[in-house]
Amino acid sequence: MENKNVLGFEVGASKTIALMGDLSGNVFSKIVTATKNEKDNKEILFNQLKELKGKVSKKYDFDYVSMTFPGAINRKGIVAYTPNLPGWKDYNLIKGLEERFDSKVFVENDANAQAIAEKIYGYGREYSNFIYLTIGTGIGGGIFINDRLYSGHNGWAGEFGHMVIGTGPKCGCGRYGCLETLASGSAIKRMASEAGKSMSGKEVFEAWFEGNKVAKTIIDKAAGSLTIGIANIVNIFDPEAIIIGGGITKNNERFLKYIRRKLKIELGNYRRRVRIIRASESLIEKAPLALASYRLNMYK
Ligand SMILES: [Zn+2]
């Protein structure tokens, strides 16, 4: 396929990335900025995107606009749910972008798009059936079955963060004891605060590396919940690999080793061969390029 240029946007609840790149994953220019969004005025965000387009596309023509978005989006582009970016529910995002950019448009949920980036440019190339799990402030994921992304009826398949694991605090989704409330970066931060320590998730991990007992208790709890979550995923999907990304695995091979050990015990007699792999960090910004490439080649 001809290597065409793509104008990419990664819209997050707090941060937005605009980039110019191509279908092979080369990035030519990039801008990172704070997301502007107002609940009752979609033009605020659209205007920001148009402004960013002007900056990153100065020297380049582009053939496609590709955007990752922090919400559930179905195949027609209708936004079903945006927990952290108010004002977009029931909106046709593809149509909205096509009207403003006069170009062919691709949109996808951000965690799904990360899974696609692994499939197109990363470790996912080696697997037909894998699960992508992202663990940061929250927990999300993407599901690849027979080389295709499975996104569900409304586009919110792979919400592994909202699997109930045990007793725990109330989650943003309304249930209690979701994986996200027990094993995410914010869960680790909360557990530290409950233990009287004001520490970020990263600081808790650093204290754990240094042998701190309070940190060990917290990481043990989070790792225990995460292991149960992963064992559930393995029992449902029987994937070849689980690729874990997000802030929690950054420079943190030790935590993944710990999870692999715990998982062997957790799966017990039903132990299966499943690889637990750390995601390719450099792929995050290539998600919109991967999305365009994936849709053009194989998505119907
Ligand atoms: Zn939940």
Say yes or no: 140 and 202 in one domain: yes
Separation in Å, CA 116 to CA 11, 150, 288: 16, 11, 9
Report the C-alpha gap between 272 and 11 in whole angstroms.
Answer: 37
Say yes or no: 176 and 29 in one domain: no
Instruction: Answer whether residue 299 shows pLDDT above 60.
Output: no
CA of 181 to the centre of ligand 1 (A): 7
CA 40, 43, 47, 53 torsion-angle sign: positive
Does 300 map to a domain?
no
Model confidence at 298, pLDDT cuts 50, 70, 90, reads: low
CA of 178 to the centre of ligand 1 (A): 5
Residue-level pLDDT at 270: 66
Does 190 map to a domain?
yes
Q: Which amino acid is at 142?
A: G
CA of 179 to the centre of ligand 1 (A): 7
Owning domain of residue 84: 5-109
Phi and psi dihedrals of 277, rounded to 5?
A: -120, 145
Residue-level pLDDT at 300: 40
pTM for this structure? Answer: 0.93
Span 204-250, pLDDT tens digits:
999 999 999 999 999 999 999 999 999 999 999 999 999 999 988 88
What would the two tokens of residue 3 be?
A: 């290597």
* Number of domains the chain contains: 2
CA of 258 to the centre of ligand 1 (A): 25
Mark which of 51, 74, 109 sits at the end of a domain: 109
Residue-level pLDDT at 248: 85
What whole-number percentage of the chain has pLDDT above 90?
83
Residue-level pLDDT at 83: 82
Please report, for the domain that includes residue 76, its CATH number. 3.30.420.40
* 284 vs 27, residue with greater confidence: 27
CA of 232 to the centre of ligand 1 (A): 16
The pocket of ion ligand 1, defined by CB under 5 A, consists of 162, 171, 173, 178
Say yes or no: 177 and 259 in one domain: yes
